[in-house]
Structure 1
Amino acid sequence: MYEKKIPLSLNCGLDLIGEVLYGKWKIRLLWFINEGYKRPSELQRKIPDASRRVLNVQLKELEEHELVAKVIYPVVPPKVEYSLTEFGKTLIPVISALGNWGDEHQELLMKVILK
């Protein structure tokens, strides 16, 4: 099992949220699950640049942090669906605000990123 080399620093809210949301695709996963995309294959289609393995790892971490719930249906082949927990739903307004900020500053952000 992976063990972090640098000890966790959880001294403030920013450290905590960084630890929970760190990962390239986690915010998008939360957003798309909120929009109704619940199956792993649907999420893969929404985020084609991410490998299935990376998405599975990040979904598992979101599940461990109690932001998403996973339901495995006892059918053949197995059917898996993800949904936001009540705790996970509290992040949606924050993600929406970040997205709006990005939209408002898109031109400047693109300029500095592509520099």
Structure 2
Amino acid sequence: MVKKKQLRSHCPINFGLEAFGDKWTLLILRDIVFRGKRTYGEFLKSEEGFATNILASRLEQLLENGILKKEPSTEDARKDSYSLTEKGLDLIPLLFEMVLWSSKYDRHSEAHRIPKLVELIKKNNRKISEEVREKVLRGEAIVKYYLEK
């Protein structure tokens, strides 16, 4: 049985940081929500260049914190497939707020390639988050729906 780690404090910001608060865990969440990635190998191919030990550690952390679940892949039983739990799906609005922040302060942000999504988030983050949630549950890459051509 895995022993629950004690929180440093019960500050709401600290709670989030201890659950998913480094860049690598957020990039895993991004890859699942925006890019439809599901396997260790897919995460490993991310442009930021995960080190294998960091990726394995962060996936385990997300599993332990109940943000991800792991099941054998339907395409290849030798691989595991990771998906968001209810707790993980509830992070979609937070990720969307990060997209808005990036689009405002980074003039080179990839958010500028998805202006339709950015506008929908600005208009009603909760509503678009609920719509996107269904796509994420199906393992779809949501960015393709909103990408400007």
Using the size of structure 2 for normalisation, the TM-score is 0.60
* Alpha-carbon offset, residue 80 of structure 1: 0.8
The answer to whether the 8 A contact 1:72-1:81 is kept is: yes
Q: Which runs of 5+ in 2 are unaligned?
A: 1-5, 108-149
Structure 2 counterpart of 1:98, one-letter code? M
**Structure 1 residues 77, 11: closer, same or farther in 2, change over 3 A?**
closer
Aligned-partner Cα distance in 1 for 2:18–2:9: 8
Structure 2 counterpart of 1:38, one-letter code? R
Structure 2 counterpart of 1:51, one-letter code? A
Aligned-partner Cα distance in 2 for 1:76–1:37: 15
**1:97 maps to what in 2?**
97
**Structure 1 residues 71, 77: closer, same or farther in 2, change over 3 A?**
closer
* Alpha-carbon offset, residue 8 of structure 1: 4.0
**1:9 maps to what in 2?**
8
Aligned-partner Cα distance in 2 for 1:42–1:78: 14
**1:111 maps to what in 2?**
none
Greater Cα offset, 32-41 or 76-85: 76-85
**1:106 maps to what in 2?**
106
Greater Cα offset, 19-28 or 56-65: 19-28
**Structure 1 residues 10, 29: closer, same or farther in 2, change over 3 A?**
same
Aligned residues: 101
4+ residue stretches of structure 1 with deviation over 2 A? none
The answer to whether the 8 A contact 1:31-1:92 is kept is: no
Structure 1 counterpart of 2:9, one-letter code? L
Q: Which has the higher helix share?
A: 2
Structure 1 counterpart of 2:12, one-letter code? G
**1:66 maps to what in 2?**
66
**1:29 maps to what in 2?**
28
Q: Which runs of 5+ in 1 are unaligned?
A: 1-6, 108-115
**1:81 maps to what in 2?**
81
Identity percentage over the alignment? 25
The answer to whether the 8 A contact 1:69-1:83 is kept is: yes
Q: Deviations over 1:81-104 (max 9, x none)?
A: 100001100001101111220221
Aligned-partner Cα distance in 2 for 1:66–1:39: 17
* Alpha-carbon offset, residue 31 of structure 1: 1.7
- State the SS of the aligned residue for 1:70: strand
Structure 2 counterpart of 1:67, one-letter code? I
